[in-house]
Amino acid sequence: MMDFVNKYKQELLQNVLPFWTKNSNDNEFGGYFTCLDREGRVFETDKFMWLQGRQIWTMATMYNEVEQNAEWKAMAIQGAEFILKNGRDAQGDWYFALDRTGKPLVQPYNIFSDCFATMGLSALYKIENKDEYAQVAVDTFNRILERRDNPKGKYNKQFPNTRSLKGFSLPMILSNLALELEHIIDKQTVDRLIDEVMHEVMEVFYQKDTGLIMESVNLDGSFSDTFEGRLVNPGHIIEAMWFMMDLAIRREDGELMNRCIDIAIRALNYGWDNEFEGILYFKDILDKPLLQLEWDQKLWWVHLEALVCMAKGYAYTGRQDCKEWFEKLDNYAFNRFSDPEFGEWYGYLNRQGNPLLTLKGGKWKGCFHVPRALYKVYSTLEQTENALFVR
Amino acid sequence: MMDFVNKYKQELLQNVLPFWTKNSNDNEFGGYFTCLDREGRVFETDKFMWLQGRQIWTMATMYNEVEQNAEWKAMAIQGAEFILKNGRDAQGDWYFALDRTGKPLVQPYNIFSDCFATMGLSALYKIENKDEYAQVAVDTFNRILERRDNPKGKYNKQFPNTRSLKGFSLPMILSNLALELEHIIDKQTVDRLIDEVMHEVMEVFYQKDTGLIMESVNLDGSFSDTFEGRLVNPGHIIEAMWFMMDLAIRREDGELMNRCIDIAIRALNYGWDNEFEGILYFKDILDKPLLQLEWDQKLWWVHLEALVCMAKGYAYTGRQDCKEWFEKLDNYAFNRFSDPEFGEWYGYLNRQGNPLLTLKGGKWKGCFHVPRALYKVYSTLEQTENALFVR
């Protein structure tokens, strides 16, 4: 597995990060262009807050953990200044999208904008000690916790109390956010949040009969036989499992570690497309027809998060099933998603594994999953010899 | 072309309508099941207002125009009673979805629910002279006109005035609705609305340089180089063109008729998939990457509306290009969408033309486009010999 360290490091430093440093700075208005075509040309100038926050996180984290490249730091700072100046409404909630110049386009209906803004600012505070970064990150985090029970606010279209489901996305991201913000929020809050979220993910959303985690459940955690309740997003389960594995490391809990790996491998087997390879985007747990017309597509982030998960599983336990899955995923992902000619990875493949869209960035794909995963994979594998919980 | 009359009539009466009369009545709570799998089994019991209204329209119209089948009339009435009892909030706006028993699930954020409710009730009033049907249809129609400039109300996520685009869907449906409601609203309103809508569709959304109609334009009708502004939905253009052709007939305007046909054929050529056949769901007018991951799929309604459009074009003018397109579309649609084994048509094919989902009805597909189009095609072709505007 040590051969992969150089491969992933090289892909990150030579194929992926240069694509973003070269193409995504808006030197005129600040912030980042994320809508980039195959060759890196800007095809749309709107600025989506998810991706602005995520790119700040990526640039700051690469500077902090990979190498002290001044260009990355400058990019992180310019992105942060842009969102601090333009990104929030009067309540401090983050807009979903701005136009190129920073004028709001789409209201703060989506709390994940806030999650990624706080994640970016708190990572930046690690490398640039400006109080405002920490303060806005903490204030935003507190607003997220306040809004947690009705994250869409007045934009929530559900009629109250007829069918109350809760979604997996928010607890999942909070589990990651708690660790990301550990240096700027108090330990008690972090520990309480981790306890809550670990319970939600591993007990409430986890369904004993299938051994999988659902996207939505009834408030009491029971299965809902509805479109939303039947939905399985294998990539989401697998990504959540590496978040949980980080918590297992933190708690030195080998049983939790192996349980996370078991769930992730179950999700891989369940989501794997035996006909065309790759991991399907969505499935219905009762094999009923789905609402998602994109269900059979192969998405970049799903495969990257699976690589991270299996690299961690192997590094932390030495399990051979993790190694085998890692190699299988690596083979598919590098053959299908990576674009050595123009840099970065394709985001969206059709079921057959060919690009459905040739973009490298868009409304939902930015400078985040590819570099984060490449970095997590190689830095995790470097630690393989110090496996913590060998079975 | 007369051979097609029997083919379409038989498909309607033997393959399609029986599927719905057999499987979609909810005899316990009223209303219709629309989520039906390939064999017609109910896989989800929620009731989506678009599809409830549309099925009332279909059953009432078939009774009124095809044959006086008492089962169809009873179905129309039971659906109408269900939506009248359960479908509206305190302001008279129509919910988007109800649960099986009629409790509201999703708020009235989407004005098309109202459009289809009024369309269904007004068609029913033609065959069942109950004042409430006409009254609620008219009241709803007036609310639609009131809400027209901000149809999503408080659920509108756009920040005001940064980028104001207007959408093609509402004027398009109003052009159809004006004719559908002609028997219950005053002539002056109908005529004024038709003038307005015809101007919007044929001048404002129509773009001279490409000869196509866009999904969204700036308020002044100019092109917007944004994701929304670049979007072309060929099926939508083609469907709108037969609505406009009906208005051309009404006004005895041969020039308008031929202009509509020219635009529809341009949209067919533009949307046709030369590699795998069929009409693509979405394209970007500047060939930039799309947001719609389903862009390359082949949808039932697109092909059915195109059949109606070309049948009308041929019947009204005798144009050979309409005949050739009709035959090409007929061949693709009957081979790919129709399911002689279990009835009805598939809704969603992948690019290669194979079912992506095997459902016959769902959240967006009900008893509407297939029967309406089959009926419109054969009834139009029956009139071929009386062509109005032979070129």
The nearest CA of chain A is from the CA of B284 a distance in Å of: 12
Name the closest residue on chain B to residue A104, using Cα atoms: B159
Task: Name the minimum distance, in Å, from the CA of B350 to any CA of chain A.
Answer: 9
**Which tens digits make up the pLDDT trace of B366-388?**
999 999 999 999 999 998 765 55
Q: How crowded is residue A300: how many other Cβ atoms within 10 Å of its Cβ?
A: 23
What pLDDT, on the 0 to 100 scale, is given for residue A176?
A: 86
Of B43, B163, B290, which has the smallest distance from its Cβ to A288's Cβ? Answer: B43
Could B159 and A107 be called an inter-chain contact, meaning their C-beta atoms sit closer than 8 Å?
Answer: yes
Q: How far apart are CA A167 and CA A164, in angstroms?
A: 10
Contact residues on chain A for B289, CB-CB shorter than 8 A: 35, 37, 43, 357-359, 362
Q: Which residues contact A146 (CB under 8 A, 6 or more apart)?
A: none
Backbone φ, ψ for residue B371 (5° rounding): -65, -40
Q: A357 pairs with which residues across the strands?
A: A348
With CB atoms and an 8 Å threshold, state whether B105 touches A290.
no
Cα separation, A131 vs A141, whole angstroms: 15
User: Residue B105 and residue A162: Cβ atoms within 8 Å?
Assistant: yes
* pLDDT score recorded for residue A50: 97
Is the pLDDT at B43 greater than 80? The verdict is yes
Please state, for a pLDDT cut of 90, what percent of chain A lies above it.
93
Return the pLDDT at B371: 98
Give the architecture (CATH level 2) of B2-386. Alpha/alpha barrel (1.50)
Residue A99 to residue B163, Cβ atoms within 8 A: yes
Confidence of residue A387 (pLDDT cuts 50, 70, 90): low
Q: Inter-chain contact B155–A158, Cβ cutoff 8 Å?
A: no
Chain B residue closest in CA terms to A42? B288
| Region class of A92: left (phi > 0), else alpha (psi between -120 and 50), else beta | left
What amino acid occupies position B156? N
Would you say residue B390 has pLDDT above 60? no
Q: What is the pLDDT of residues A19-30, one digit of tens each?
A: 999 999 999 999
For the cut 80, the answer to whether the pLDDT of residue A119 exceeds it is: yes
Chain B residue closest in CA terms to A100: B162
pLDDT at A13: 98
Cross-strand partners of B345: B338
Q: How confident is the model at residue A383 (pLDDT cuts 50, 70, 90)?
A: confident
Q: What is the pLDDT, as a whole number, of residue B386?
A: 57
Search chain B and give the residue with CA nearest A95. B159
| B269 within 8 A of B323, measured Cβ to Cβ | no
- What is the average pLDDT score of chain B? 95
Query: Which of B191, B151, B197 shows the shortest CA–CA distance to B173?
Result: B197
Strands B42-44, A216-218: pairing is unpaired
Please state, in angstroms and rounded to a whole number, the distance separating the CA atoms of residues A276 and B294.
19
Yes or no, beta carbons of A157 and B350 under 8 Å apart: no
A123, pLDDT greater than 60: yes
Gap between the Cα atoms of B133 and A339, Å rounded = 60
Residue A172 has pLDDT above 90, yes or no: no
Residues A107, B290: C-beta atoms closer than 8 Å: no
Which residues on chain B place their C-beta less than 8 Å from a C-beta of chain A?
35, 37, 43-44, 46, 95-96, 99, 103-107, 109, 154-155, 157-159, 162-163, 226-227, 288-291, 293-297, 348, 350-351, 356-359, 362-363
A351–B350: do the CB atoms touch at under 8 Å?
A: yes
Residues of A with CB under 8 A from a CB of B: 35, 37, 43-44, 46, 95-96, 99, 103-107, 109, 154-155, 157-159, 162-163, 226-227, 288-291, 293-297, 348, 350-351, 356-359, 362-363
Q: Which residues of B touch A362 (CB under 8 A)?
A: 289, 291
Chains A & B: contacts with CB separation below 8 Å: 99
| pLDDT, mean of residues B296-324 | 97
Distance CA A95, CA A49 (A): 7
Report CA dihedral (B263, B264, B266, B272) to the nearest 10 degrees.
160
Assess whether pLDDT exceeds 80 at residue A385.
no
In the block, which residue shows the tokens 């009024």?
B118
Q: Which residue has the tokens 């930046």?
A: A124
Instruction: Determine the average pLDDT of the residues in A280-300.
Output: 98
pLDDT at A190: 93
The CA distance from A107 to B341, in Å, is 48
Please answer whether residues B83 and B77 qualify as being in contact, where contact means their C-beta atoms are separated by less than 8 angstroms: no
pTM of the model: 0.96
Question: Least CA distance to A299: which residue of chain B?
Answer: B293
CB-based contact B316:B257 (threshold 8 Å): yes
Q: Do A289 and B158 touch (CB under 8 A)?
A: no
Q: Which residues contact A110 (CB under 8 A, 6 or more apart)?
A: A50, A96, A151, A152
Indicate whether B40 pLDDT > 80: yes
CB spacing of A289 vs B109 below 8 angstroms:
no
Q: How far is B359 from chain A (nearest CA, A)?
A: 6
Give pLDDT tens digits for A194-240. 999 999 999 999 999 999 999 999 999 999 999 999 999 999 999 99
Q: Classify the phi-psi angles of B243: left when phi > 0, otherwise alpha if psi is within -120 to 50, otherwise beta.
A: alpha
pLDDT (0 to 100) of residue A391: 45
pLDDT tens digits along B100-132: 999 999 999 999 999 999 999 999 999 999 999
For residues B45-74, average pLDDT: 98
Mean pLDDT over residues B325-336, rounded?
Answer: 98
Question: Tell me, what's the pLDDT at B389?
Answer: 55
| Mutation site, B96, B155, B273, B293, interface A, largest A CB count within 10 A | B293
Q: Note whether B107 contacts A157, CB cutoff 8 Å.
A: yes
In A, minimum Cα distance to B230 occurs at A44
Cβ–Cβ < 8 Å for B198, B244: yes
Residue of A43, A163, A348 with shortest CB distance to B105: A163
H/E run at residue B51:
helix B49-65
Q: Is the CB of B289 less than 8 angstroms away from the CB of A109? A: no
User: Which tens digit of pLDDT belongs to each residue from A243-264?
Assistant: 999 999 999 999 999 999 999 9
Say which of A95, A106, A358 has its CB closest to residue B289.
A358
Q: Which of B37, B44, B226 sits opposite A44 (nearest CB)?
A: B226
**CB-based contact A162 B104, cutoff 8 Å:** yes
| B63-91 per-position pLDDT tens digit | 999 999 999 999 999 999 999 999 999 99
Confidence of residue A2 (pLDDT cuts 50, 70, 90): confident
Are A288 and B104 inside 8 Å of each other by CB?
no
d(CA A164, CA A159): 9
CA angle A245, A249, A252 (to 5 degrees): 125
Say whether pLDDT at B391 is over 80: no
B289–A362 C-beta distance less than 8 A: yes
Residues A272 and A296: beta-carbon distance below 8 Å: no
User: Shortest CB distance from B44 goes to which of A155, A227, A357?
Assistant: A227
